[in-house]
Structure 1
Amino acid sequence: MTSAIRPPAAVLLPGTGSDEVFVRAVFGGPLAALGLPLTTPKPLPGAAVVDGFLAELDRLADQYGTLLVGGISFGAHLAAEWAVANPGRCAGLLAALPAWNGEPGPAPAALAATLTADLVAEKGVDAAIAQAEAGSPPWLAAELSRAWRGHGDGLAAGLRVAARRPAPELALLRGLDVPAGIGACTDDPIHPAAVARAWAGALPRGEYGETTLAAMGTDPESLGRATVLAYLRALTAEPVREGPLEGI
């Protein structure tokens, strides 16, 4: 009798200044509907966040053999970076809200992270949270308040290291032959949908899905569903109808 093939573990990373709580809120339900176990590592404080996440992916790949990796924003960048370096241990990619490819340059997300780091360094985390609350929808302000306080004194350094780190070049993504779902919010100026579409177009088996920040205000899983449905289209190489998947 042939034993069933165990699905790969999904390991998803948060964006800079974010946390594992938000990643699970976005992807927990959609991945549970597919029976995929989800691991959401907690970010290490400060500049250690990058090496910490990459080392954790290595550790989990040693444990499981192959991983379905991904993340949100900078977490998607690091997951894609790891996948490019470890194609034999990557079973697929779930990248939500990628913010740039190659050098960050004037990417809005890099500029925003740098400005926030400057504000935190000058006036403290509470002042940065107050400014974010004044200019963000209530749901996003609440997420930032919780996550930024969790990062504490390491927030500024973590923001700076993310703002300066290159994402994989499109040429490198073209060599990553795994099913990949790339998700975007069409009303997000910090993570332009055009970047997500470029990632999906570069990846040999990449598919693109989208939602809106407005939808996430009442349904955080809308971004997870858009990204996971894109991954399923890439996995099957056939259109996936949303009807049977309404539960994810």
Structure 2
Amino acid sequence: MTSAIRIPAAVLLPGTGSDEVFVRSVFGGPLAALGVPLITPAPVAGAGLAEAFLAELDGLADRYGTVLVGGISFGAHLAAEWAVANPGRCGGLLAALPAWNGESGSAPAALAASVTADLVADVGVEGALAAAVAGSPGWLGEELGRAWRRHGSGLEAGLRVAAGRSAPTLQELRGVGVPAGVGGCADEPVHPAGVARGWAGALPRGVYGETSLEVVGRDREALGRVTVLAFLRGLRG
């Protein structure tokens, strides 16, 4: 099928308040099946979250020459931002659950991050975690428990960074000519599938793949598979 020689090493970033453990659970299997090396930088907690990830992408591109970049939610935003700024070093894009394009404005994910940051400021990480877990599926509660505690005192600042940072505009995405897979969940209101479809439509070689949050709850790799399969279709297009 597609050989690893045609696909550079993948560098994938986690979403806000998440971590590299979740990224690997989503993308590790699908990329391993293609023989693609996967690099998952750990988040740097606090206000430097975004700039640290962008610097990590710069360093890895210096090392490898060309990298396949991507991520989940805010991680996808940062990867796309980097792809816009580095057309000669980006070999492809894997964007799962992008939450907005352009200014964050009143996007559900931005509002959720701001509300959560306020809650952390008021009751601390453990108090905010208790509130979040109470209304979440069991698997998501486990993910939040691990990742939020790892972010610790930096969680609030990281959430505010994500909530206020612009994603690439659709016009900017139209200038990213590399193969791109964009994955969405049809039943995920915080990361609307319409945003992911908009990204895929704007990217010249973008292809959209879809699953559901219900399926991801049983099989984390479902999100990775639809995103990687969409990328492969863009690669051949």
Asked if these proteins are the same fold (TM beyond 0.5), I'd say yes
Matched, 1:145 2:145: yes
1:145-190 residue CA offsets vs partner (Å, 9 max, x unmatched): 1100000000000000000000000000001100000000111000
Q: Distance in 1 between matches of 2:218 and 2:5?
A: 36
Query: In the alignment, which residue of structure 2 is the partner of 1:65?
Result: 65
Equivalent residue pairs, number: 234
- For residue 118 of structure 1, what is the aligned residue in structure 2? 118
**When the two structures are superposed, what TM-score results if normalisation uses the length of structure 2?**
0.97
Corresponding residue SS for 1:132: helix
Cα deviation for residue 218 of structure 1 reads: 1.0
Q: In the alignment, does 2:148 pair up with 1:136?
A: no
Instruction: Tell me the equivalent position of 1:213.
Output: 213
Moved over 4 A (4+): none
Cα deviation for residue 7 of structure 1 reads 3.5
**Counterpart-to-counterpart distance in 1, 2:102 and 2:19:** 24
Q: Summarize deviations over 1:89-143 as a string: whole Å, max 9, x none.
A: 0000000000000000000000000000000011000111111111111001110
Equivalent runs, 1:46-61 vs 2, <5 Å: 46-61=46-61
Which secondary structure does the structure 2 equivalent of 1:124 belong to?
helix
Is it true that 1:101 corresponds to 2:124 in the alignment? no
CA shift, 1:6, in A, is 6.4
**Structure 2 unmatched runs, 5+:** none
Q: Distance in 2 between matches of 1:20 and 1:135?
A: 24
The structure number with the bigger radius of gyration is 1
Distance 2:80 2:7 in 1: 20
**SS of equivalent residue, structure 2 residue 98:** coil
Q: Percent identity?
A: 74
Give the counterpart letter for 1:176 in structure 2.
V
2:30 is matched by which residue type in structure 1?
Answer: P
TM-score of the superposed pair, with normalisation by structure 1 = 0.93
Which residue identity does 1:236 align to in structure 2?
R
What is the identity, as a one-letter code, of the residue corresponding to 1:136?
Answer: S
Question: In structure 2, what is the equivalent of residue 233 of structure 1?
Answer: 233
What SS is found at the alignment partner of 1:35? coil
Answer yes or no: is the 8 Å Cα contact 2:7–2:91 preserved in 1: no
Instruction: Give the 5 Å matches for 1:180-191.
Output: 180-191=180-191
State the secondary structure of the residue aligned to 1:11.
Answer: strand
Structure 1: gaps spanning 5 or more residues? 238-248
Q: How does 1:192-207 map to 2 (within 5 A)?
A: 192-207=192-207
